[in-house]
Amino acid sequence: MVLASSAIAGSHLWNSGSDSMSVIELVGVTKAWGDIVAVDDVSFTVEDGSFVVLLGPSGCGKSTTLRLIAGLESVTAGTVYIGGEDMTHKSPSERRISMVFQSYALFPHLNVAENIVFGLKVRKTPAAERDQRLKRAAEIVELSDLLHRKPAQLSGGQRQRVALARAIIAENAICLMDEPLSNLDAKLRHDMRGEIRALQRRLGVTVVYVTHDQSEAMSMADRVILLRDGRIEQAGTPDELYDRPETVFAAGFIGTPSMNLLDLTDGPGGAGISGLEGKPVLDGPGEGLKLGIRPEHIEIRDFGGLPAELVWSDYLGADTILTARVGSQSLLVRVPGRFDVARGVSVNLVWAPENVHVFDTATGRRASGRQALAMAA
Ligand SMILES: Nc1ncnc2c1ncn2[C@@H]1O[C@H](COP(=O)(O)OP(=O)(O)OP(=O)(O)O)[C@@H](O)[C@H]1O
Ligand SMILES: [Mg+2]
């Protein structure tokens, strides 16, 4: 008995001594079904204890990537390392990973407690230990009073918490979540974001979280991996993706409303906005370039800057999104509070050069070495 407990203590010590236990690393991972390449030569690392979000539009390969990490799909090419060990051909159970799905996948005929301990029962965990772990998991997600209810008698958020408790009770160091909040209403989704993130920090688990909602990614992630057509478009912290999108796609995907992207044209004194020559916004030629400016980085002035005509206003409560025409282009401007406009009113738009992004229209990539011009006061 003494020997057994010291062996356990020893192994625990060894485990906690290794910081890389739950590091996930994908190297050149590809998944194809015939002609359909769902994941195309993807490589990334998820650090131990971090919260990484796989973000991207429907069909870009988020769920497939997650299922490849879990071992629920086999890779066509590439290697999956977990804790530094090659797990590419290991079964899901050998990977010791928990997963939370979009459809919570609860058993309707089992009550909350039975749903939560189901996996432990399958693994023949002794009843006393099962009860102890159930108690703790239920406390963490605040379900202790609802253990005897059936899933049909729970709200969406409570069902979500049962699914989380089931992941927690397994005590795996890695948890994969595939759009776990998409069935919830906006308010609950917002609350659950905070709860999941707080829980992840408290338990120190490594999480890979899938969503197509950029605001969810921005508010929850340590790092965001933006996917497009099975490839990584850009990976970085939320700040990096917002401040320095490397492509037009990334610029358009992060931020609401999206970044304005205005076609530029050559003009006297520098590149102008198409249809508004003679008001240079960028030094040098403009043909083949797009200027990116976020709606929240544009100010409305009575004079100076660029002449614009207001077309529409969407009052959202805390702020108003204005649609304006500049030259032959249309753009959005975010202004605080309420801003009533009559259609056709003339205004002037101003932005700071450091908030300007420049992209190459043909490649869709960020153009380097171009200097945005300060606007006349
Ligand atoms: N079993 C399969 N057989 C063939 N093609 C598949 C299979 N599973 C997924 N795909 C395809 O792979 C691509 C990526 O699918 P995946 O489910 O990973 O996308 P996703 O980013 O999770 O999208 P969503 O946001 O809609 O859930 C899609 O084109 C999809 O049709
Ligand atoms: Mg999916």
Tell me the domain boundaries of the chain: 20-243, 260-360
CA-closest candidate to residue 182, choices 163, 198, 166? 163
Q: Is the CB of 74 under 6 A from ligand 1?
A: no
Q: Is the CB of 60 under 6 A from ligand 1?
A: yes
Q: Is the CB of 103 under 6 A from ligand 1?
A: no
3 CA → ligand 1 middle, Å: 50
Distance, CA of 151 to CA of 158 (rounded, Å): 9
Instruction: Locate the ligand 1 atom nearest the alpha carbon of residue 54 and give its number.
Output: 21
pLDDT in tens, the chain (377 residues): 333 333 333 333 333 334 578 999 999 999 999 999 999 999 999 999 999 999 999 999 999 999 999 999 999 999 999 999 999 999 998 998 999 887 778 999 999 999 999 999 988 999 999 999 999 889 888 889 999 999 999 988 889 889 989 988 988 999 999 998 887 778 878 888 888 898 899 889 999 999 999 999 999 999 999 999 999 999 999 999 999 999 999 999 999 999 999 999 998 889 999 988 788 999 999 999 999 999 999 999 888 899 999 999 999 999 999 999 998 899 999 999 988 877 788 999 999 999 999 999 999 999 988 889 988 66
Could you tell me the CATH superfamily of domain 260-360?
Nucleic acid-binding proteins (2.40.50.140)
62 CA → ligand 2 middle, Å: 6
Q: Whose CA is nearest to atom 18 of ligand 1?
A: 61
182 CA → ligand 2 middle, Å: 11
Instruction: Locate the ligand 1 atom nearest the alpha carbon of residue 31 and give its number.
Output: 12
Tokens of 283: 């030094």
Residue 190 contacts by C-beta under 8 Å, 6 or more apart in sequence?
Answer: none
20-243 adopts what CATH topology? Answer: Rossmann fold (3.40.50)
117 CA → ligand 2 middle, Å: 26
Q: Whose CA is nearest to atom 8 of ligand 1?
A: 64
Of 33, 181, 208, the residue with max ligand 1 atoms within 8 A of its CB, to mutate for a pocket test, comes to 33
Q: Is residue 262 classed as helix, strand or coil in its secondary structure?
A: strand
**Secondary-structure percent of the chain, ordered helix, strand, coil, rounded to 5:** 30, 30, 35
